[in-house]
Structure 1
Amino acid sequence: MADRDQTSKAPKVRGRGADDSGASPGSTGPKGKRPNKPKRQRKFRTVARGYSREQVDKSLQDMDAELDRAAAIIVQKDKELEVARQAETEAVDRAFFYIMDLKERLLSNAEIRAEQIISEAQTQVNGGKSDGSSDAIIKAAKAEAARIVNAARAEAQRLETFGPSAGSSPAEPTPIRMG
């Protein structure tokens, strides 16, 4: 049989076995309804026994190539995502270790300053004051030292829990009054 140069749907069939829907045999879904159309409607030239094999094969090759390109893009995007996740993990780790280091330095500096205050108070007391005010000086120095250490601990806890407050950067912790 000869090829027909027709770019429309298969011809309507009338007679035995044909329905009156106007669609080609086998192209209707359940209860005579058409199934959902694919996103890309392709039309093929009809020949004596169906569509042109060359056109169908070419269309399938084009679709395979398109799928291959899409798969390559997915692989590339997966690699980019993995790199971004790794960078994020490294940044979080660096920030965590920075905050822990900052916390340790903050507490260490507060303890050093507290010891200095107590030492200065004892030197002042030993320097000549032997009256009842020496106990008051040492008591005040210890209270100031405790206040500094407690403020440092509170700042360290804040750093560990919430990160730097608005207006201060990790390089510049909130200052603690040292006396």
Structure 2
Amino acid sequence: MTTERPTHTTEGVDLRHYTAAQARDLRNEVKQIFRGAYIEAIESGEPFEAPEAFMTRFDAYTDPSRASGFDLVMARIGDEPVGQAWGWPLGPDSRWWNGFQLDEGDPTTYTTETGTRTFAFSELMVRKEFTGRGIARVLHDELLDRRPEQRATLLVRPDNGRAYDTYLRWGWDRVGVLRPSWPGAPRFDVLTCQLAAA
């Protein structure tokens, strides 16, 4: 039996936090949200955007041997899962920065991790039929507001104008580019923001 951290409710949207082990128990709901949020990307036929590829990455992120500090926030309206966000703190041996090209400065200094310096904001998605209600912002803030790390980082596709503009509006800044080692991964822009609780 899993235990849940305290519930936060905003305008009918119920938010709950889950550890990696708890998130693995929600695998079907995680996949349902992805399928409902990335309809066009899935239909593009890009292997990286296939539900199976996404779930392979999810399984790796929640692997008990490497998921220290993983935090998933899932949004529900009633019993319906409508959105999710997750991430984890980067440890000294993290591969997150592999292949990173910093726009300015020394990339070695920039990417040195301690386990308390950077939170990797890996995913944020809301099913299409529930967009336009502020759920993405609520998920974003719920995941990040109480993080103890100094900063957060995320990857965004340069051609995803809507998401990119939203992140910039929410206080994120571009610092470089990165192509993850996942098969078929595109090149992403790397954004960071300072965390208020740090």
Pairwise TM-score range, normalised by the shorter structure: under 0.3
- TM-score, normalised with respect to structure 1: 0.25
**Higher relative strand content:** 2
Q: Which has the larger radius of gyration?
A: 1
**Higher relative helix content:** 1
Higher relative contact order by CA 8 Å / sep ≥ 6: 1 or 2? 2
- TM-score, normalised with respect to structure 2: 0.23
